[in-house]
């Protein structure tokens, strides 16, 4: 059979962000939401540079031209990133700012301020800003200061001599992160509307006042992005929590990978900064506006005008549940699925709340990956400990960029008597599971919650996920065995229903695809539909290709990075790939396999990435109830395959093309339809 060349993963990540950026360009999208999408892309790019850029940059600096990361791969990615950043700022300056102006919302630059506004800005600077600024003039005893990751700074070139008669011409001004990046100005007289001033503009207007006796000849904002992926050798540390705490202290000062400066920055200053951070020229990004677009989300919050936002959506209470009904009584009647955010995450919180307050509940076990710094769920676990229940929490300390919050929760729970464990050395515990053990007469009965997403009430309002509640004895016994395995690291017994990575999940998926490929080659009607966030595991992709070449019809709904090209003649003719980018972040993982009338459907915490299959603890579990299975098929798969509003189809050349309905008036959006369906049930 013909071989296939997979798409580049890092370019696939940038392509995903181009699809997100498209939302910011659409005039039919409310204005503040367009700004929010622009900020999301900037935040995503920050993380891309923090996590993915370092090996490419290292290859560029060393001139390496062999292997996965090369000087050429750095140049190709940098060119793509530069193009995206250029389009972001063009959109911001040429489209969004004028639209805001038409709505009476303005960010007033220094040259546009009248005398009264300048007096107000000066008073604000003297009162709120100047006391926190310490300009540092560079000389042999004052070397270039440590500049934190993604912090706002100014570089200044001075003429004249300092107080000691020296001609040191470079100074650095660090801007404290405690200061808001945008400040609302009062309106007076004819200045109606909503006016803001940026913090960088406030400092720029009064920069000269920080250097008495000197003349500011040149200046620029700048921001450096640093490699921020924590690397801890778990085999060589005695206490992972302590090692991670120490690593977090150093994260803000890792290797520089990107430098952003104002478009007007002189070559003298930009070359000086590139030399300080040991960066090549293509790592420099000159921007026509704020060096950190992410902070513009403050404008969204400060304006908060309903007519400039999406219509408010309030999730309904889970339709299979009744408020006030006991979960333990309900789950004896059958399993329950909750489709978030169309149905409320409050159902999950209510399940845990009942378990915490029920005197017959003896033990609660839960995995913690991303809960947020302010979590009602964690407070409920604390209350469970106070009430004398046995609480075991498997905390993943290495959840990227949530390490500090998880360490704090782990220390809090441990300090009051909960059993806190940190999973398995070398593996991230990414599985989402909650197990409740309850005494009922002479028996102990288990109840469980599994999820495709995190135990985070805030993101549960923004991400699409499926929560699953069950009292099925074999499935809950499997979950208990996984908890025991994670805590004791003893050998895992044979599981009845759960598929667990890194042990079974990848192998079982391969077996199912191979079996369907064999059935298709025998003329049987076969189908695979997979929905996930990313597809980059080469073994699984090769298996999909072989199944498709045997005649299996395959649809892949992959929100983000997908390395498997679709519709390549003679190779992936039977494989279609689409990405759906909507109001909510698609996060559900659903795996569907059919041969003739026999169907299997799994929900999972795992994307099809090598790390998820081989370096993480992940779960997949079957939906065996026919009605629940059909509901998931209809809402999570069929609706998205028919989406003509928010969908993009991957082409044979690796480019994505937005789906266009044959009749625009009849366009169908999966998320829009689900919101309408569940709104009617409130």
* Per-residue pLDDT reduced to its tens digit, 292-348: 999 999 999 999 899 999 999 999 999 999 998 999 999 999 999 999 999 999 999
For tokens 């070139």, what's the residue?
A: 157
Q: CATH says 327-497 is which class?
A: alpha beta
- Using the predicted structure, report yes or no on whether residue 258 has a pLDDT greater than 80: yes
CA–CA separation, 92 vs 24, rounded Å?
A: 9
- Alpha carbon distance 424, 648 (integer Å): 38
Residue 430 is a catalytic residue: yes
Q: What is the pLDDT of residue 236?
A: 42
Closest-CA residue to 204 (of 173, 168, 227, 170): 173
Give pLDDT, residue 424: 67
pLDDT per residue over 58-85, tens digit each? 999 998 888 889 999 999 999 999 999 9
Q: What is the pLDDT of residue 189?
A: 59
**CA dist., res. 661 & res. 370, Å (int):** 38
CATH 3.30.870.10 domain range(s) in the chain: 327-497, 501-679
CATH 3.30.1840.10 residue ranges for the chain:
9-56+85-294
The domain 9-56+85-294 having CATH identifier 1.10.10.10: the answer here is: no
The closest alpha carbon to 432, from 485, 370, 385, belongs to: 370
The larger pLDDT score, comparing residue 54 to residue 162, is at 54
Report whether CATH 3.30.870.10 matches the domain 501-679.
yes
Q: What is the pTM of this model?
A: 0.92
Examine the pLDDT at 244 and tell me if it is beyond 50. Answer: no
Give the model's pLDDT for residue 405.
64
| Coil, strand or helix at 395 | strand
CA 557 to chain centre: 18
Classify strands 284-287 and 256-262 as parallel, antiparallel or unpaired.
Answer: parallel
Alpha-carbon separation of residue 67 from 50, 64, 71, 73 (angstroms)? 21, 8, 10, 10
Rounded average pLDDT over 610-620? 93
pLDDT tens column, 632-651: 999 999 999 999 999 999 99
Residue 250 — pLDDT band, cuts 50, 70, 90?
low
What values do phi and psi take at 261, rounded to 5?
-135, 165
Q: Each residue of 101-117: pLDDT tens digit?
A: 999 999 999 889 999 99
Please count the CA atoms within 13 angstroms of the CA of 199 that sit on its side-chain side: 24
Q: Are 259 and 150 in contact (CB under 8 A)?
A: no
Where residue 235 falls among pLDDT bands split at 50, 70, 90?
Answer: very low
Per-residue confidence (pLDDT) for residue 232, from 0 to 100: 42
pLDDT mean across residues, the chain: 90
Q: How confident is the model at residue 570 (pLDDT cuts 50, 70, 90)?
A: very high
Residue with tokens 């993604």: 150
Report whether 443 contacts 352 (CB < 8 A).
Answer: no
For 344, the 3-state DSSP assignment is coil
Contact 570, 659 (CB under 8 A): no
Name beta bridge partners: 448: 435, 470
Of the residues 430, 449, 485, 587, which is catalytic? Answer: 430
């Amino acid at each position: 059979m013909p071989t296939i060349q997979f798409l580049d993963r890092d370019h696939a990540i940038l392509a995903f962000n181009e699809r997100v950026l498209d939302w910011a360009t659409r005039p039919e999208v409310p204005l503040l939401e367009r700004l929010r999408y622009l900020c999301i892309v900037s935040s995503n790019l920050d993380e891309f540079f923090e996590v993915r850029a370092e090996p490419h940059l290292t290859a560029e600096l060393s001139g390496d031209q062999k292997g996965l990361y090369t000087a050429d791969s750095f140049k190709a990615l940098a060119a793509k990133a530069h193009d995206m950043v250029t389009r972001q700022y063009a959109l911001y300056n040429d489209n969004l700012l004028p639209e805001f102006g038409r709505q009476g919302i303005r960010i007033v630059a220094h040259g546009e301020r009248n005398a009264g506004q300048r007096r107000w800005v000066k008073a604000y600077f003297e009162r709120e800003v100047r006391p926190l600024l310490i300009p540092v003039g560079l000389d042999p005893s004052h070397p270039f200061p440590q500049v934190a990751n993604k912090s706002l700074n100014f570089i200044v070139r001075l003429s004249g001599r300092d107080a000691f008669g020296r001609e040191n011409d470079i100074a650095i001004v660090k801007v404290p992160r405690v200061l808001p990046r945008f400040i609302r100005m009062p309106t007076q007289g004819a200045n109606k509307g909503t006016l803001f001033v940026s913090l960088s503009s406030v400092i720029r207007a009064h920069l000269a006042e920080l250097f008495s006796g000197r003349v500011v000849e040149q200046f620029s904002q700048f921001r450096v992005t640093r490699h921020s992926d924590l690397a801890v050798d778990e085999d060589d540390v005695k206490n992972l929590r302590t090692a991670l705490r120490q690593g977090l202290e150093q994260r803000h000062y890792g290797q520089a990978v990107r430098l952003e400066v104002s478009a007007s920055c002189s070559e003298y200053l930009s070359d000086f900064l590139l030399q300080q951070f040991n960066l090549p020229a293509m790592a420099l990004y000159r921007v026509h506006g704020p060096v950190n677009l992410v902070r513009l989300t403050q404008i969204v919050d400060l304006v908060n005008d309903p007519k400039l936002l999406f219509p408010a959506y309030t999730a309904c209470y889970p339709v299979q549940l009744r408020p006030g009904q006991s979960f333990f009584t309900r789950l004896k009647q059958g399993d329950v699925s909750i489709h978030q955010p169309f149905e409320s995450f409050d159902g999950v919180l209510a399940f845990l709340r009942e378990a915490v307050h029920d005197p017959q509940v003896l033990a609660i076990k839960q995995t913690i990956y991303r809960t947020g710094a302010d979590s009602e769920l964690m407070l409920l676990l604390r209350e469970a400990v106070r009430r004398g229940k046995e609480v075991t929490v498997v905390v993943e300390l290495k959840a990227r960029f949530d390490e500090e919050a998880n360490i704090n929760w782990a220390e809090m729970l441990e300090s009051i008597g909960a059993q806190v464990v940190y999973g398995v050395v070398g593996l991230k515990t990414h599985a989402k599971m909650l197990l409740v053990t309850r005494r009922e007469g002479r028996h102990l009965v288990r109840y469980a919650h599994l999820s495709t997403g995190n135990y985070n009430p805030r993101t549960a309002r923004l991400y699409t996920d499926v929560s699953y509640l069950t009292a099925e004895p074999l499935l809950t016994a499997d979950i208990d065995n996984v908890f025991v395995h994670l805590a004791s690291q003893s050998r895992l017994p044979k599981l009845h229903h759960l598929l667990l990575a890194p042990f079974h999940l990848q192998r079982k998926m391969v077996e199912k695809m191979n079996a369907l490929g064999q059935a298709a080659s025998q003329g049987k009607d076969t189908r695979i539909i997979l929905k996930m966030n990313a597809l980059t595991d080469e073994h699984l992709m090769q298996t999909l290709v072989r199944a498709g070449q045997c005649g299996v019809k395959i649809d892949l709904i992959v929100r983000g990075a997908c390395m498997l090209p679709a519709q390549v003649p003679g190779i992936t003719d039977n494989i279609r790939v689409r990405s759906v980018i909507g109001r909510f972040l698609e996060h559900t993982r659903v795996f569907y396999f059919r041969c003739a009338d026999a169907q299997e459907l799994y929900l999972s915490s795992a994307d099809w990435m090598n790390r998820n299959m081989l370096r993480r603890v992940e779960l997949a579990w079957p939906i065996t109830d026919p009605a629940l299975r059909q509901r998931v098929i209809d809402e999570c798969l069929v609706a998205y395959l028919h989406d003509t509003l928010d969908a993009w189809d991957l082409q044979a050349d690796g480019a994505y093309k937005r789906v266009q309905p044959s009749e625009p008036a009849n366009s169908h959006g999966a998320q829009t339809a689900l919101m309408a369906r569940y709104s009617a049930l409130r």
